[in-house]
Structure 1
Amino acid sequence: MDRRRKIIGYLVALLAALAQLPAAYTPATAAAPKPRAVRATVFKGRGFDTCEAPPLTTLRAWGTSQYRAVGVYFAGRARACPRQRYLSYDWLTGARDLGWKVLPLFVGSQSPCVKASNKRGFTIGSFPEDQGEDEGDEAVRKASALGIAQGSALYLDMEAYDIKDENCAGTTLAFVQSWTDTVYRRGYVPGFYSSAESGVRHMELARRAGADSLPEIMWFARWKVTPSTDKERSLSAGAWQPHRRIHQYAGDVSETHGGRKLTIDRNLIDAPVAVIE
């Protein structure tokens, strides 16, 4: 445990230094993280995510919509909708057979300085590397049990947090890195969802500082702007490119297609999705 505490101390110091850098600063040696050697299926187009996976009859009705991908909250102790009545192997194969791509979201432990009050009972503890490894294992185990195969993207959902809190930011980064490494070692593609101005900006700052073990895909939430996977101002132009970005550009909106109504978040996708076998 002493080694882990030293690592956390280093990360805290690193984030403290980063806080002093101007927003446009990029070290000359910084480079976009390169995809690691795992197979992945990339989808480009529109998608939505919703708290509870809808029944297949709704997905069939929504075949008339612009969307062809659906985000599902398949596991994690901090899910807003832990009871997923329809989500199963049969649901996933049914969605696949209807022509839908799937974005699996894992809502595990949250940053100690998470902003949402309903997530504060699920924060990262004193040993973030151990916790990140345990929850990475959980994500892979539960994904596999549903028929989500190796080579699939799994997205860690980290709700908005205060990246200026140095101790908190260091703890959060250590957890994310450990989760990312664990998911990758098990043959999956580790992605990351967060607010563009908090978690995603934090990952970009860590990248600029030369940090390793960062997620392979950035899913950034920035609402009320023109949808674009290429023009996010929190990310350098060449970072997490090509085919490794998702823009959540609207949230908590209601749509009806084929007579079926859902409340959804809207996404523009150019990134890996699940492999359903």
Structure 2
Amino acid sequence: PAAPAGPAAPAGPAAPAASASLKEGADLTASGAQVFQGRAFDTCTAPPLSTMAAWRSSGYGAVGVYVGGRARACHQQQLTREWVRAVSDMGWRIIPVYVGSQSPCVTRESKRPFPIDIADPVSHGAEEARDAVMQARALGIVERSPVYLDMEAYAPRGPRCSEPVVSFTRGWSQELRRYGYFPGFYSSAASGITDIAEARRIGIRDLPEVVWYARWNARPALAAEPVLAAGHWTPNRRLHQYEGNVKETHGGRSMLIDRNVIDAPVAVVER
């Protein structure tokens, strides 16, 4: 069913324990993160377990999973707590993605009904972070996991389009840290990533712990992204989506996927 056009007001998760909170810029592994280095794919709908089993020989080690968000496009008939545990037991690492509210200037028409509340973007970001925590917990994805906010490409960059994104993402990041989750941020290198990188360059705080940048038709690389300063979001804090909408077949099962290389936190799955 279609999501409402206005900002949702999800009930919040239980208040976090004081010990849950994470500090911005803290050492990831010392803070409890599980870091994966290697190849990953993401696909719109969580695949059947039989497909995930067939793909174990694919060379990919992690899978992006869309855990929630009012702008999430695909139905998730397979995605349950049991699916998450079964996939984890196969040896897959899971990258949780949340497709929340978008820039007022988002280019994809299907995302335009889900704008950030420009009257109070920080509070709106925090509100959606609480919903993301609830969705992750329901799937058995627990504290010290990342959740990656999916901010689709937007244009043009500038105060009307960019400032709501930065403010919303600050609220998202603050609240996820408060609940003990690492705030991640996915976007196009040419829009959202450029704006977040510029915010960091000028000293804005409360930014995401991990960045996942889409730059297609490029060499898969984590250290060579031109919009990211060499010392920013390192170590273990980058993902690169280097190719999109490609069909691959492994073990007799075909999927349309995006290809990624990562050195970043992945889900901690409740046992």
Whether the TM-score (by the shorter chain) exceeds 0.5 is yes
- Number of the residue aligned with 2:254: 261
Q: Cα offset for 1:164?
A: 2.6
Alignment length, in residue pairs? Answer: 244
Q: Cα offset for 1:163?
A: 5.5
Name the SS for the 2:113 alignment partner: helix
Measured against aligned partners, the alpha-carbon deviations of 1:40-80 in whole angstroms (never above 9, x if no partner) come to 00000001000000011001000110101000001001012
TM-score calculated relative to the size of structure 2: 0.88
Alignment of 1:58-69 (within 5 A): 58-69=51-62
Query: Contact conserved, 2:162 with 2:192, CA < 8 A, in 1?
Result: no
Distance 1:190 1:142 in 2: 14
Measured against aligned partners, the alpha-carbon deviations of 1:180-208 in whole angstroms (never above 9, x if no partner) come to 11011000000000001110011110001
1:90 maps to amino acid: E
Query: Contact conserved, 1:42 with 1:243, CA < 8 A, in 2?
Result: yes
- Number of the residue aligned with 2:244: 251
RMSD: 1.1
Q: Cα offset for 1:168?
A: 2.5
Moved over 2 A (4+): 33-38, 162-165
- Number of the residue aligned with 1:35: 26
Alignment of 1:213-224 (within 5 A): 213-224=206-217
Query: Contact conserved, 2:104 with 2:160, CA < 8 A, in 1?
Result: no
- Number of the residue aligned with 1:13: none
Please identify, of 113-122 and 67-76, the stretch whose mean Cα deviation from structure 2 is larger. Answer: 113-122
2:26 maps to amino acid: P
Could you list the runs of 5+ residues in structure 1 that have no partner in the other structure?
1-32
Q: Work out which of the two has the higher radius of gyration on C-alpha atoms and give 1 or 2.
A: 1
- Number of the residue aligned with 1:161: 154
Query: Contact conserved, 1:116 with 1:160, CA < 8 A, in 2?
Result: yes
2:99 maps to amino acid: V
2:267 maps to amino acid: A
Measured against aligned partners, the alpha-carbon deviations of 1:230-258 in whole angstroms (never above 9, x if no partner) come to 11011011110001000000000000000
Q: Cα offset for 1:36?
A: 6.2
Q: Cα offset for 1:165?
A: 2.5
- Asked if residue 183 in structure 1 is aligned to residue 176 in structure 2, the reply is yes
Report the CA distance shift for 1:36/1:175 in structure 2 as closer, same or farther (over 3 A): farther
- Number of the residue aligned with 1:54: 47
Query: Contact conserved, 1:40 with 1:272, CA < 8 A, in 2?
Result: yes
Q: Cα offset for 1:115?
A: 1.2
Could you list the runs of 5+ residues in structure 2 that have no partner in the other structure?
1-23
- Number of the residue aligned with 1:124: 116
Distance 1:110 1:101 in 2: 27
Alignment of 1:195-234 (within 5 A): 195-234=188-227
Distance 1:35 1:160 in 2: 29
Report the CA distance shift for 1:243/1:91 in structure 2 as closer, same or farther (over 3 A): same
Which of 37, 58, 65 matches 1:44? 37
Which has a greater percent of helix? 1
Query: Contact conserved, 2:38 with 2:263, CA < 8 A, in 1?
Result: yes
